[in-house]
Structure 1
Amino acid sequence: MRRFAAEAVLAYKAANIFGADGAMLDLKSLVYFIAVAEDLHFSRAADRLHVAQSALSVRIRQLEDRLGARLFARSKRSAVRLTQAGELFLAEARRVVQAAEQAESVGRRAGQGEVGHVAIGFVASAVFSGLLPGLLRRFRGMHPDVEVEISEMETPRQFAMIEDGLIDIGIVRARSDPPAGVKLHVLRREKMHVLLPADHPLAAADRIALNELSRETLISPHFDALTGFGNMLARLSGRDGFAPAAIRPVRDFLTVVGLVGGGYGVALVPDAVRRLAGDDVVMRPLDGADDLEAPLSLAYADRQPGPAVAAFLECARAD
């Protein structure tokens, strides 16, 4: 009964890797013990570890004293062998050393941006333009073990969540003056086009001037006069006689295409919308407005990013 109780106590200590005084054992002691347990020879183990045999012997004795148990049976007449307590301890020591090696590897890889987590917000046009899928594919090829979480959301919400630290990166239809604390990097510039119902009188034209849209209802994906297309429309007001009859703000380009196709108005859209256009709409170049662009931009906090986020930013900027 006493023998069983002693082994149970040692097994508990081994599982927790604590010494008799409750302090955690150092990894070097465990590595030394494992080497001797594998070689069952102090001299060979010392050679493998590149330490003096005397130092190895002292370390093992200190380990046994802290555990309060003999780990090796050794004598001049017989080979070194593990005691029953040593066998119990060996399995746990290996587990702890392997876990420490894994933790070190993960920590090192995390520091290099090879593992971690990146939360990304995006506007829908970043997907159907092909920009976001291409960027994700390239980043995954370079950092396959980084977890990437993506969430579709409008530009103002992305800015707010970046400022609050709720997402790391946004892909937005940028404005020229982002909120304080948010930086922008243009990833792609797209020329503007006019989106018309297929049966619209202007659909027969090769190009359309701004002033030809003055009597039209303009359908536009924007939320305020400062953000994305709202900002662009504010800058266009009065240019070349441009004064649409009404502006109908909607949430996204899918809604724009649906309403234009249904005959409820026309729209100024970037080239990417071409991928959404069906037979009920047509796109025509905007004449005299070659300077008008709708950039897709990277948005991120103006502070030092974590390694995984920094790796994503570097990948995106390199395109």
Structure 2
Amino acid sequence: MLDIKSLSYFIAVAEDLHFSRAADRLHVAQSALSARIRQLEDRLDAPLFTRGKRAAVRLTEAGELFLVEARRTVQAAEQAENVGRRAGQGAIGHVAIGYVASAIFSGLLPELLRRFRAEHPDVEVRLTEMETPRQLAMIEDGLLDIGLVRARHDPPAGVLLTVLRRERMHVLLPAGHRLAASARVALADLSGETLISPHFDALSGFGGMLAGLARRDDFTPGPIRPVRDFLTVVGLVGGGYGVALVPDAVRRLAGDDVVLRPLDGADDLEAALSIAHAERPRGPTVAAFLKGVQAL
């Protein structure tokens, strides 16, 4: 197989049509350059140049045809080297990110993407909205690079979670609710109310938070209606099907049919958004994204 150096030497002589000048440009001895061209001609079993003591160096017909392909091959090799180097630096490639919907309306995901794009504009970002349990399972299975999830105390083995944002909890009420005119709402005032909450089991996320509320002396929970996401929560509360404990960012989704009020008597309640990823980042682009997150 022909090597790139031999092709580069041939191109230099073909462009200068002068062995001495080409050797100077390549910073090699003329004898070494001549020997390399002879080896190339032997390999191809065809003369590439006409030579004479007094006649100028010229390309043969084989040399002219070979020059086109030699240039193309060298350019392709340089492109391949550049791609490989940039990929190794995390400057190109892709990163697959999962997210819960609240990562968008809280502003967290847009902020992370703006920072990452500013430093790595040529990296493709593939976004998929999905619930927290599915994100964690896909990261564990190597099908997802990064997840923006609700905080969990029991991530799968090999999956790391880091809290990026914490929000105080508020009460979301139907606009016509008996407590809608209150400036603040105490947790005890919600006793017996139907609570609408996005969660998938009773032990983690918002399900775990509601389970903890049930053990308080000053609060008697009513029925709990689990749903998939906060958009559904806002819709059901607006329709009068119950009330909800939500992070402050939900105010960006609130319309005229709901009101958001600060929650009194529950200072320990908070909603946390976390970033999840494999303990060993899969590839330079993922490592570059995580490095940017550390700068927050």
Q: With the length of structure 1 as denominator, give the TM-score of the two structures.
A: 0.91
Q: Residue 119 of structure 1 aligns to a residue in which SS?
A: strand
Query: Are positions 1:28 and 2:5 aligned together?
Result: yes
Other-structure match for 1:316:
293
Other-structure match for 2:20:
43
Q: Bigger CA drift: 175-184 or 93-102? A: 175-184
**1:82 CA drift (Å):** 0.6
Q: Deviations over 1:128-168 (max 9, x none)?
A: 11111121122111100101100000000000100011110
Question: Which of 257, 269, 272 is equivalent to 2:246?
Answer: 269
Question: Which of 141, 145, 149 is equivalent to 1:164?
Answer: 141
**Which residues of structure 1 form unaligned runs of 5+?**
1-23
Q: Residue 167 of structure 2 aligns to a residue in which SS?
A: coil
Separation in 2, partners of 1:206, 1:305: 49
Query: Which amino acid letter does the alignment assign opposite residue 274 of structure 1?
Result: R
Question: Which of 53, 74, 77 is equivalent to 1:100?
Answer: 77
Query: Are positions 1:242 and 2:219 aligned together?
Result: yes
Q: With the length of structure 2 as denominator, give the TM-score of the two structures.
A: 0.97
Separation in 2, partners of 1:111, 1:84: 41
Preserved CA contact (<8 Å) 1:183 1:299: yes
Query: Are positions 1:130 and 2:107 aligned together?
Result: yes
Preserved CA contact (<8 Å) 2:158 2:279: yes
Runs of 4+ in structure 1 deviating by more than 4 angstroms, as ranges, are none
Question: Which of 191, 216, 224 is equivalent to 2:201?
Answer: 224
Question: Which of 111, 118, 127 is equivalent to 1:150?
Answer: 127
Separation in 1, partners of 2:183, 2:216: 21
Question: Which of 236, 246, 249 is equivalent to 1:259?
Answer: 236
**Which residues of structure 2 form unaligned runs of 5+?**
none
Separation in 1, partners of 2:94, 2:218: 49
Please, what is the CA RMSD of the aligned residues?
1.1
Q: Deviations over 1:115-139 (max 9, x none)?
A: 1110000001111111111211221
Aligned residues: 296
Separation in 2, partners of 1:72, 1:226: 80
Question: Which of 128, 150, 171 is equivalent to 1:194?
Answer: 171
Separation in 2, partners of 1:304, 1:273: 32
Separation in 2, partners of 1:61, 1:245: 91
Q: Residue 303 of structure 1 aligns to a residue in which SS?
A: coil
